[in-house]
Amino acid sequence: MRLGGIDIPHDRHLVGHSDADALLHAITDALLGAAGLGDIGEMFPDTDEANRGRDSAEMLSQAAEAVRQKNYQIGNIDCIMFAQRPRLTPFKEPIRERVAEILAVTPDAIGIKAKTGEQIGPVGLDVAMMAQSVALLIGDDEVA
């Protein structure tokens, strides 16, 4: 399974038009939204065959560049991954480092949390995974 830009051993995989990396998609949406640039579906529509199987890290990198073109710097990114299985705690640091690498920021600018569904709902029943992210952008005129 691909999550947060790394491969995680698991007996299941995520399904999507691209490589289905739900965490990188959430971060991409957070960056685009914070900069007023729409969302991942607008920038990388699933109706475009060029996006079939596409590496989500490439999409995130392009979104980050679009954010920088609007004269924003990435202040920090905070993420939550929701999954009953696999246990994601052992992978939080490698994910954090990979996301920082993709975004060309230091790892201390990336927050990664993992939550289970406690046996409730689609996440808790192990039929779905979800990811949420929020991004803090700093305008060039705000940098001291």
The residues, any chain, with a CB within 8 Å of residue 47's CB and separated by 6 or more, are none
- Residue-wise pLDDT for 52-111, tens only, equals 766 889 999 999 999 999 999 999 999 999 988 888 899 999 999 999 999 999 999 999
Beta bridge partner(s), residue 78? 111, 134
Q: Into how many domains does the chain fold?
A: 1
Least confident of 1-5, 52-56, 94-98, 117-121: 52-56
Helix, strand, coil content of the chain in percent (nearest 5): 40, 20, 40
The helix (H) or strand (E) run that includes residue 7 is strand 6-7
Beta bridge partner(s), residue 73? 138
Give the orientation angle of helix 22-34 with respect to helix 92-103, to 10 degrees.
40
| CATH code assigned at 10 | 3.30.1330.50
Q: Which amino acid is at 52?
A: R
What is the Cα–Cα distance from 123 to 49, expressed in whole angstroms? 30
Looking at per-residue confidence, does 95 or 18 come out higher? Answer: 95
CA nearest neighbour of 86 among 4, 8, 140, 5: 8
Tell me what pLDDT residue 66 has.
Answer: 97
The range of the structural domain enclosing residue 77 comes to 2-142
Phi, psi for residue 21 in degrees, rounded to 5: -75, 95
